[in-house]
Amino acid sequence: MIMETRAVARERWIEFFDSLSRVYAGSRATLEVLAPDLGAQMEVEETPLAGISYDTTGLELHFTTRSGHLVHRIASPTRVSIEERDDGLVAAIEIAADGEPETILRLSAPIASRLLPA
């Protein structure tokens, strides 16, 4: 499988994350934080993605856990890149932020019914 990585322009972040949230809602996701001093740390593994939101205060990744809801916040994102599979599905999102470790969100394929037009 061929993967392509591309940057998402900042002016498209709100639209991009809204669309991605609709398509990938309920899909399994893994959240990896790449801390320079600790290496890769798994914050969430194979947990349903509830959504991603972005506004001028930052980016929030929402997950549905057995005990309720988990939110991972990134206060000052500076770059968002996506890794796309050759079938057009997003495999991963890389998020860089000022003063914070790089974050990678790995996504499983979306639930099929989410791909159907409404």
pLDDT tens, position by position, for the chain (118 residues)?
667 899 999 999 999 999 999 999 999 999 999 877 777 788 899 999 999 999 988 999 999 998 899 999 999 999 999 999 988 899 999 999 988 889 999 999 887 665 555 5
pLDDT at residue 112, rounded to an integer:
66
| Residue 37 covered by a domain | yes
Q: Which CATH number does the domain housing residue 22 bear? A: 2.70.180
The C-alpha atoms of residue 79 and residue 98 are separated, in whole angstroms, by 9
The number of distinct structural domains making up the chain is: 1
The C-alpha atoms of residue 15 and residue 17 are separated, in whole angstroms, by 6
| Residue 118 covered by a domain | no
Q: Is 111 exposed, middle or buried (0-12, 13-18, 19+ CB in 10 A)?
A: middle
| Residue 14 covered by a domain | yes
| Residue 117 covered by a domain | no
Range of the domain at 75: 3-110
Helix (H) or strand (E) holding 15: helix 13-24
Tell me the pTM.
0.87
